[in-house]
Amino acid sequence: MPELPEVETVVRHIRPNVVGRRIESAEIHWKRTVEPLTPARFRSAVKGATVERVWRRGKYIVFDLGGHGSLVGHLRMTGRMQVGASPGAHVVVSLALDDGRGFHFIDVRKFGRLVWARRSEDALPALGPEPLGDAFTADWFSRALRKRHRRLKPLLLDQSFLAGLGNIYVDEALFAARLHPLRPASTLRRPAADRLHEAIRTILAAAVEHEGSTFDRFYRTPEGKPGSYQHKFQVYGRTKKPCRRCAAPVRKLVVGGRGTHICPRCQRAPRSPA
């Protein structure tokens, strides 16, 4: 599933092509994408609206339509967005723009969503701070970790705690901070919390600059190009390969039902309680 860097890349590519453009009409090719509205109500809601702003909240893409409400999109596993001629196959929603081009939501597996709401917050779940935003300070992060007894990996994947992180960048950040994914968050003292805070911000910023990570055939930028941060991975997807820091073989664990990659030497397992 695309994470913060991939979604931010989509927003940056889409924004200059749709902001200021009026939606002339909409075609719905997979009705579940726009639920809970029916296709007819969705078309009526967006027709004539002008896109005033495109922004990201966590893994969600928000299109502000001024007095016509908002569209809130989620790419899920295989969703893509692009502006231009229709690619034909796997298009689930198309919006005709007033410059003759079209905005297209393509989704091979059809898990993605593009929903209309009167206010964007009505369609967004409860989300934690943005990891690259001003509210995500080292002080806040240290205090928030000390209050939670959950293991680090499940906690960092919890979008209500911190918005936008997923499996890839949690694994990479924990490795950079030399922290084991099973360590209880409440046991982190300030130096360790600060290392993790810096690792999250540094890795996400670098991944955004590389236009995200492409590790399968699905994620592409709106221009059809792959991201390149996958070439920077330290542990994710590198099972049995030598750690780039100490040469120990990278291991794959299952934490909270999610495949998790660690260096067993750099990320020491927490001691079990007596």
Q: Which residues contact 57 (CB under 8 A, 6 or more apart)?
A: 120, 124, 127, 130, 163
- Which residue among 15, 150, 190, 258 is the active-site one? 258
Interatomic CA distance for residues 232 and 28, integer angstroms: 38
Q: What is the pLDDT along the chain (274 residues), one digit of tens a residue?
A: 799 999 999 999 999 999 999 999 999 999 999 999 999 999 999 999 999 999 999 999 999 999 999 999 999 989 999 999 888 789 999 999 999 999 999 999 999 999 999 999 999 999 999 999 999 999 999 999 999 999 999 999 999 999 999 999 999 999 999 999 999 999 999 999 999 999 999 999 999 999 999 877 667 878 778 889 999 999 999 999 999 999 999 999 999 899 999 999 999 998 864 3
Q: Which of the residues 3, 6, 8, 172 is marked catalytic?
A: 3
How far is residue 112 from each of residues 31, 47, 84, 93, 189, measured CA to CA in Å? 11, 21, 20, 10, 39
| Position 51, amino acid | V
CA atoms of 182 and 153, how far apart (whole Å): 7
Catalytic annotation on 87? Answer: no
Residue 59 is a catalytic residue: yes
In the numeric block, which tokens belong to residue 271? Answer: 């001691």
The CATH code for residues 138-262 is 1.10.8.50
CATH 3.20.190.10 describes domain 4-123: yes
Please report the pLDDT score of residue 82 as a whole number.
Answer: 95
2 is an active site residue: yes
Q: Coil, strand, or helix at residue 169? A: helix
- Spatial neighbors of 93 by CB under 8 A, at least 6 apart, are 26, 27, 28, 29, 30, 33, 34, 104, 105, 114
Domain range annotation of the chain: 4-123, 138-262
Q: So what's the pLDDT on residue 272?
A: 65
Where b means 16+ CB within 10 Å and e means fewer, 84-120 reads: eeeeeebbbbbbbbeeebbbbbbbeebebbbbbbeeb
User: What are the backbone dihedrals phi and psi of residue 41, each rounded to the nearest 5 degrees, phi first?
Assistant: -70, -35
Q: Which of 21, 43, 59, 220 is catalytic?
A: 59
Contact 86, 108 (CB under 8 A): no
**Residue 243: is it exposed, middle or buried by C-beta count within 10 angstroms (0-12/13-18/19+)?**
buried
